[in-house]
Amino acid sequence: MSEYSIFQIDAFTKQVFRGNPAAVVPLSDWLATSVMQHIAAENNLAETAFYIPADRDDADFHLRWFTPAAEIDLCGHATLAAAHVLFAELGWTADRVRFSTEQAGILTVSREQDGALQLDFPARPGEEIAIFEEFCQALGARPETLFLARDHMAVFATVAEVATVTPDMEKLAQINKVGTIITAPSDQPDIDFVSRFFAPAQNIPEDPVTGSAHCTLVPYWANKLSKTTLSARQISPRSGGLKCTYLKDSARVLMAGHAITYLKGTIFV
């Protein structure tokens, strides 16, 4: 039996019990994929991030993410959590950390002057598709428009509509094997748009704050509102906020948020 450090971080928040919790397990070498999947299932959080030192010049660490059900291609809040562990807990002194990933390329996290961490992620603009009845039945509501990137993204007219959506999780899991975003323009002057995110096929009925969803949300709202810098809030029960920038020419999305350590411990595998 081996011992490994584990951290639980609340991401996209300055307060514990808010934002999105993620587990982070630093490693010197990869464990078997099946073992990492078991650890993620045991943690029963939306995501568990694992990283090892990189063996390449353009990255500092290799990073992978697991939901309780499967390895996933991109996760924002667990990337923020992994960077927070390095900066706040493990003495990483550089102003940025670079993660190489299997499918999302190089992801960079930089320290901001106000203590926030800024993620540099690939943009994933959605393509508008026809609204179909199975989707509306699964969501329990009919949006104004519907888009598809990795996730489905349903756009509503008001915050109230987004706040009151109650999906049929079993049906929604059949629509998209990763997740479904719902969004609307904000009714507050200091927030541009709100969202919620559901991933029942990944054993995550509702994710509290979803960085990867903003790779699709930010291009849409930047175009819709004719601005490149946006303030976003995910209105889950835990809630969380992001400051976002759309770099259209380079097809990147910058997302800045805070993180706080909730737990430090040891796992025995």
Q: For this structure, is 47 an active site residue? A: yes
Among candidate residues 3, 47, 127, 128, the one labeled active-site is 47
Pair 11, 20: CB distance under 8 Å:
yes
Residue 197 CB contacts under 8 Å (≥ 6 apart), including other chains: 151, 179, 180, 181, 182, 206, 207, 210, 213, 234, 236
E strand spans, 88-203: 96-100, 106-111, 117-122, 127-129, 145-148, 152-155, 180-185, 193-199
For residue 159, which phi and psi values (nearest 5 degrees)?
-60, -40
Task: Identify the CA nearest to 81 among candidates 59, 100, 62, 65.
Answer: 65
| Residues classed as catalytic | 47
